[in-house]
């Protein structure tokens, strides 16, 4: 877990960032939305044949508002994220509505338990499992990958790993290319080893997302005693 956490810690600590200018968070969120949409455009094209970018950007603007509730009311938050992503692509009555296929409801109940039950596991692990569950179960049938990657980010923000929403983890998933989908397949079909490999993939993606954050272009502060950014294990 350390590589991803260390990259985020370095990003915030070395710049003495207890607060981050709103424009830097906005830049990072927009970069994440573009990367998120690019993956979706490759793997699950929008129903109207256009890019998912508009929906991804719309949802990204709400992550700081939604993050505090992802571990308290995950069902409502996930439905809201889907509605934001899929508005304009799907009929209104399908926004935030789970498929009624066998097993979908049960898996979402399990995800609710994962997100609401206190645990000593790293939030990186919780975020990775939430991402994989949504991406492989596809509870909505359309736009699920974008929702999955956004929910991963919500968990990281809520946990204090990325409290300023400046880590572009979606860029790490995009940079992995085909390995992203291979890792998801390993999660779904590879048993405990596959789950472990998926979690390690997500740790690497978070580390990459810290390295390419727009905040990384801000010069490192030289003075000693710069305040540390908050973090969570």
Mean pLDDT of 65-82: 98
**Which range among 94-108, 186-200, 218-232 shows the weakest confidence by mean pLDDT?**
218-232
Instruction: Label residue 217 by pLDDT band (50, 70, 90).
Output: low
Q: Does 105 have pLDDT greater than 60?
A: yes
Q: What is the pLDDT of residue 15?
A: 41
Q: Does 233 have pLDDT greater than 60?
A: no
Q: What is the pLDDT of residue 63?
A: 96
Q: Does 222 have pLDDT greater than 90?
A: no
Q: What are phi and psi of 74, to 5 degrees?
A: -60, -35
Q: Does 17 have pLDDT greater than 60?
A: no
Q: What does the pLDDT look like over 121-175, one tens digit per residue?
A: 999 999 999 999 999 999 999 999 999 999 999 999 999 999 889 999 999 999 9
Q: Does 62 have pLDDT greater than 80?
A: yes
Q: What is the pLDDT of residue 231?
A: 43
Q: What is the pLDDT of residue 214?
A: 84
DSSP 161: S
Topology of the domain covering 2-14+21-217: Fic-like fold (1.10.3290)
SS (H, E, C) 65-134: HHHHHCCCCHHHHHHHHHHHHHECCECHHHCCCCCCCCCHHHHHHHHHHHHHCCCCCCHHHHHHHHHHHH
Mean pLDDT of 91-98: 96
CA distances from 24 to 19, 53, 172, 210, 232 (A): 10, 19, 19, 13, 21
Return the percentage of the chain with pLDDT > 70, whole number: 84
């Amino acid at each position: 877990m350390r590589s991803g956490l260390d990259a985020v810690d370095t990003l915030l600590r070395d710049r003495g960032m207890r607060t981050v200018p709103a424009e830097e968070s906005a830049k990072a969120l927009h970069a994440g939305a573009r990367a998120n949409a690019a993956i979706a455009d490759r793997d699950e094209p929008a129903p109207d044949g256009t890019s998912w970018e508009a929906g991804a950007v719309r949802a990204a603007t709400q992550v700081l508002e939604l993050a505090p509730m992802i571990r308290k009311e995950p069902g409502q938050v996930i439905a809201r994220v889907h509605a934001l992503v899929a508005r304009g692509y799907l009929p209104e009555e399908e926004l935030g509505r789970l498929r009624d296929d066998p097993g979908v409801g049960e898996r979402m109940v399990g995800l609710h338990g994962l997100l609401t039950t206190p645990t000593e596991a790293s939030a990186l692990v919780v975020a990775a499992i939430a991402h994989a569950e949504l991406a492989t179960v596809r509870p909505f049938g359309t736009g699920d990958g974008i929702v999955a990657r956004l929910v991963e980010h919500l968990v990281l923000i809520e946990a204090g790993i990325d409290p300023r929403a400046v880590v572009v983890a979606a860029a790490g998933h995009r940079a992995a290319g085909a390995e992203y989908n291979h890792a998801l397949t390993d999660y779904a079909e590879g048993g405990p080893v596959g789950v472990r490999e998926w979690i390690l993939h997500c740790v690497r993606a978070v580390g990459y997302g810290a390295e390419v954050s727009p905040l990384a272009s801000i010069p490192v502060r030289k003075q000693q005693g710069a305040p540390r950014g908050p973090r969570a294990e």
